[in-house]
Amino acid sequence: MSGQIYDICVVGGGPAGLSAAVNAWVRRKNVIILGGPSGRSKVNRSPKVDNYLGFPGISGDELYKKFLKHVENFKIPVLPDKVQNIYPMDPLFSLQVKDSLYECRSVILATGVAAQKGLNGEENFVGRGVSYCATCDGPLYQGKTVTVIDYTGEGAEEARFLADFCTRINYVAMAATVPEFKKNNIEVITKDAPVGITGEGTVKTLKTQTRTIETDGIFIFRETYPPTELVRGMEIEDGFVRVNRKMETNISALYAAGDCTGKPYQVAKSVGEGLTAALNAVSYLDSLEHSTP
Ligand SMILES: Cc1cc2nc3c(=O)[nH]c(=O)nc-3n(C[C@H](O)[C@H](O)[C@H](O)COP(=O)(O)OP(=O)(O)OC[C@H]3O[C@@H](n4cnc5c(N)ncnc54)[C@H](O)[C@@H]3O)c2cc1C
């Protein structure tokens, strides 16, 4: 923990998060972006964006670079930290990343949506064998067999960490590159996509396209955590963060913007919601300054 308290922590470095940060900065707030390790957004995957006003035919990659440049020009810090948990601890929030904590007065959640659908049965076993954070839950599996499903590449380091105290690791490689491991208790599984999770009370197996793997726990690494895992107690509706027109969630001073609040999945909607969230967070912060102690 640095000891610094930010006005606003923006979680997510896509169009929604960058727009929120720019608008908070314009209103002279002390803002930071925790953007995850990829340094990218979904829009980077679009070869051609034809419907973002003013930039017909631009590639998604180029559009995102323009967004980032805007943020860089304002010298807003964009850190590659992936936020694992957000703890509302009135009047401050604590945001847990791998090795440290950030503290702030308000949070704007802009984490997008996962490219992959949840696995069959996954939801039923969250907290009962399914986890998204090896640092948080790994120690529970000392001397046991666990499976790491890695869609992003960040799971390789986590598999190495788990291999120090788990008996056996099944590493299901789903990211673009397949890592190498020196530890001989890690088995790498390639070209065999996971399909479902089964168990009785707790996880017992992971089913892939070709086999059934017996396992005591499953760690899943995707670009985005399910929002319910990120903030306990935050209301979800049809799988999306529930917000009102001010982009307020049910938790005071916690706002959400972009794809994570629901369809349409579009850059313009994300940018607009990021702005709305930021301006309302600014009003909230200003009201704190003007309230009597
Ligand atoms: C192939 C493709 C083509 C598209 N074409 C168009 C188009 O033509 N026009 C259009 O308007 N839209 C298009 N879209 C949709 C558009 O890309 C999205 O609507 C937009 O990127 C959503 O912005 P966002 O900021 O909400 O989320 P994202 O862009 O998904 O960004 C979310 C960010 O949050 C980060 N993150 C997630 N979890 C965490 C965490 N726990 N901690 C820290 N960071 C985290 C991610 O790494 C990412 O950087 C397209 C999408 C795709 C995939």
Note the pLDDT of residue 2: 65
Residue 292 has pLDDT above 60, yes or no: no
Distance 46 CA to ligand 1 centre (A): 10
Residue 293 has pLDDT above 70, yes or no: no
What is the C-alpha to C-alpha distance for residues 79 and 94, in angstroms, rounded to an integer? Answer: 16
Distance 11 CA to ligand 1 centre (A): 13
Ligand 1 atom nearest to CA at 84: 41
Average pLDDT over residues 69-91: 95
Distance 130 CA to ligand 1 centre (A): 25
Note the pLDDT of residue 211: 96
Note the pLDDT of residue 116: 77
What is the C-alpha to C-alpha distance for residues 74 and 23, in angstroms, rounded to an integer? Answer: 11
Residue 38 vs residue 72, higher pLDDT: 72
The answer to whether the CB of 256 falls within 8 A of the CB of 241 is: yes
pLDDT, tens only, 40-71: 999 999 999 999 999 999 999 999 999 999 99
Note the pLDDT of residue 97: 93
Distance between alpha carbon 18 and the CA centroid of its chain, in Å?
A: 15
Note the pLDDT of residue 117: 81
Lowest mean pLDDT among 45-54, 144-153, 224-233, 248-257: 224-233
Note the pLDDT of residue 143: 97
Average pLDDT over residues 173-202: 96
Note the pLDDT of residue 1: 59
With a Cβ cut-off of 6 Å, ligand 1 is lined by: 11-17, 34-36, 38, 40-43, 45-46, 49, 51-52, 82-83, 110-112, 223-225, 258-259, 265-268, 270
Q: How confident is the model at residue 239 (pLDDT cuts 50, 70, 90)?
A: confident
- Domains parsed from the chain with CATH numbers: 5-115+225-290 (3.50.50.60), 123-221 (3.50.50.60)
Residue 150 has pLDDT above 70, yes or no: yes
H or E stretch covering 255: strand 254-256
Contacts 24+ apart (CB under 8 A), 65-74: 67/15, 67/18, 67/19, 67/41, 68/18, 70/18, 70/22, 71/18, 71/21, 71/22, 71/33, 74/22, 74/25
Residue 133 vs residue 1, higher pLDDT: 133
Q: Tell the residue nearest (CA) to atom 34 of ligand 1.
A: 12
The pTM score is 0.91
Note the pLDDT of residue 228: 84
Average pLDDT over residues 33-41: 91
Note the pLDDT of residue 289: 83
Note the pLDDT of residue 3: 80
Distance 224 CA to ligand 1 centre (A): 10
Report DSSP letters for 67-134, one per residue: HHHHHHHTT--EE-PPP-EEEEETTEEEEE-SS-EEEEEEEEE-----SSPPPBTTGGGBTTTEES-H
- pLDDT > 70 fraction of the chain, expressed in percent and rounded: 99
What is the C-alpha to C-alpha distance for residues 131 and 75, in angstroms, rounded to an integer? Answer: 35
Note the pLDDT of residue 185: 97
